[in-house]
Structures are given as structure tokens and as C-alpha cells.
Amino acid sequence: MDYIDQLENNSIYLIREAYSRFKKVALLWSMGKDSTTLLWLCRKAFFGQIPFPVVHIDTSYKFQQIYEFREKYAREWNLNLTVLKNEDALKEGMNYSKGRFECCNTLKTETLKMGIKKHHFEALFLAIRRDEHGIRAKERFFSPRDTDMRWDYQNQPPELWDLYQSSLSNDKHFRIHPMLNWREIDVWQYIQKEKMPVIDLYFSKNQKRYRSIGCETCCFATPSGAKSLREIISELKTTRVSERSGRAQDKEDTFAMQKLRSLGYM
């Protein structure tokens, strides 16, 4: 078993662990490379048919390719797809020009909060990784949130070996992070190995590509000539540019990501 195999096997273990400990679970799918990898791992964990809803938090500002990818693979993989949208805020014209912090919080975090309430989710699978952002490096595999979805990052439960804490008193829900130990390059090597589909925004056009995708309004392509999986992997072996350098919401102020995440952002 090589390192990528070990990551896969441990993630599948975690997914099954969460599924056995919580009754109502769901997977957050943004159609990006990470959450599509997580979806792939869930399909493997349950031998092809994912037994819980796959949720897309739709801000309505995503790239067109993202919506096309969603429709195509929701059908092909027979997913129980649930799309959540904050219709009221969108009607009132919420967009990034009102402030990126405000926009992310309203269209993503608040939408998720409403969705959790409506569907009574006890645990959500998310594809965050430690190497994406320093604040995510502090996360647990099973991470509790209170009723307001707040992350009490100063008082996280101990997580010894793989004996995860999963008590649900105080109406909490849990964030489950099966890919916390994966690095960006591991994800791409896995995609290559598994011949998984990915959105073509990740590949270079006119000497630029997206390393991380989300809303079209707040994502910027970074200089790169990588046109294939092989070229992306070789680029990542030497680059010293950070993965989220093209994501605007992280950069509003020094602790923007911490503030967003403590309020329940993914």
C-alpha cells in the first residue's frame, strides 16, 4: 500500500465511522476537486450508492461549468442531490459588492444554517484540508458546532487515535473532515490514479488556471501553464504560491478566515 492508498483507506474508515455514529448525515459538495474527491471516497465507502443526501450550497454566482458538472454527475452517480439557496437574501440583492465577508456569511454560512435546521442534519461531511489554510490546520476530524453553528476553537474535544468524540447533546451538529490529512498534491495524484472527472477550470488556458474554485465573482486564475493532471502535479512539487491565493474572501483582514470559520463557514 502506498501513501495515497493509505490516505484513501483512512478516509473511508472515517466516513464509515461517522455514518455509524450519526443518524442524519449529508455531504457538502461544491463540485471542486476536493469535495468531488470526498464524494468519490463516499461512493467507495458505500460500494457505489451513497446512502445520504449530497448538498450543494448555491450562492447563484458559481461558474457555469460548476452547474454543468453538478447536473451531469448527479445523474451519472445517482446522487440524492439537495440544492440550498438563500432566496430571500438573493432577492434583496446580496452580492460581493456588499462586502465579501458579509456575502460569504449570508449566502454560504446562513444558507447552511437554514438547511441544517430544515433537514435536521446531525453531521456534515466536508472536504477541508489542513494545508489549505492555517486556521484549518487547527481542525479535528470530528468537529462539534453549537446550535448557532459556532466553532469553539479554543475548547475543542480531545481526539485520541481514531476514537472520535460524537456526543450530540446541546443540539450540536458535527463537521466531519475525512480529508484533513490530505495535501493539495495528494488530491491531484488521487484524481490521476482514479481517473476521476474534474472541472476544466483547473487546467491552464492562456497561461492561467484556477487552483481553487468557488464563486466566479471572487475567484481569480493564477499564472500557470499546467494543462494536464501530470503538469499540475509537477507544478505543485515546486510552487511556493499558496493554493488559496486566488480566493478573495480570505484576505479582507488578518484574521478574516478565523472569523468566517468561527461563525460556521466551511
Partner 1 sequence: MNNFPVKFVFIGEVDHGKSSLIGRLALDTNSMPREHVKNIRQISKELGSETALAYFTDQLEEERKNNLTIDTTQIQLNSPGKNYVLIDTPGHLEFLKNMMTGVTHADAAILVIDATEGIKPQTQRHAFLAGFLGLRHIIIVVNKMDLASYSQRTFEEITQKLRSLLPAHTNQNISMVPASAKEAANISRRSSKTPWYKGPSLLEAMKSIRINQKKDSAPFCFPVQDVYKIGNENIIVGRIASGSVEQGQDITLLPSQKRATIRSLKVFDKETKKAQSRQSIGIALTTPLNVKRGDVLCDKKYRPQITTRFTGKVFWLSDKPLGLNQTILIRCATQETQCTVEKIEKKTDLALSKELKQNMNELKQNETAAIQFKANTALVVEDSNRVGELGRFVLQDNDHLLGVGIIK
User: CA 250 to CA 252: how far, in whole Å?
Assistant: 6
- 4 near partner 1, rule: CB under 8 A: yes
The three cell numbers of residue 261 are 470559520
Q: How far is the CB of 21 from partner 1 (least distance, A)?
A: 10
The three cell numbers of residue 74 are 448527479
Window of 73-81, 119-127, 223-231, 233-241 that interacts with partner 1 by CB under 8 A: 233-241
Q: How far is the CB of 256 from partner 1 (least distance, A)?
A: 11
Q: How far is the CB of 157 from partner 1 (least distance, A)?
A: 6
What are the residue ranges of helices labelled H in the chain?
A: 3-21, 33-45, 64-76, 87-91, 100-104, 110-119, 184-194, 229-238, 256-262
Task: Count the neighbouring beta carbons within 10 Å of the beta carbon of residue 4.
Answer: 17
> How many residues would you count in the chain?
266
| 29-48 footprint of partner 1 as x/- string (CB under 8 A) | --------------xxxxxx
Choice between 90 and 159, CB closer to partner 1: 159
- 195 near partner 1, rule: CB under 8 A: no
Choice between 4 and 74, CB closer to partner 1: 4
Binding partner 1 (rule: CB under 8 A), the pick from 87, 163, 197, 228 is 163
- 242 near partner 1, rule: CB under 8 A: yes
- 10 near partner 1, rule: CB under 8 A: yes
User: CA 93 to CA 104: how far, in whole Å?
Assistant: 13
- 207 near partner 1, rule: CB under 8 A: no
Q: Which helix (H) or strand (E) holds 216?
A: none
* Residue among 1, 12, 20 nearest 182 (CA): 12
- 212 near partner 1, rule: CB under 8 A: no
User: CA 9 to CA 94: how far, in whole Å?
Assistant: 41
Binding partner 1 (rule: CB under 8 A), the pick from 64, 93, 120, 169 is 169
Binding-site size, partner 1 (CB under 8 A)? 54
> Helix, strand, or coil here: 7?
helix
φ, ψ of residue 215 in degrees (nearest 5): -80, 140
User: CA 126 to CA 129: how far, in whole Å?
Assistant: 9
84 with 55: CB under 8 angstroms? yes
- 258 near partner 1, rule: CB under 8 A: yes
Window of 22-30, 74-82, 96-104, 158-166 that interacts with partner 1 by CB under 8 A: 158-166
Residues that bind partner 1 (CB under 8 A): 1-6, 9-10, 12-13, 16-17, 19-20, 43-49, 130-131, 134-135, 137-138, 140, 153-154, 156-161, 163, 165, 167, 169, 181, 183, 185, 189, 237, 239-243, 245, 254-255, 258
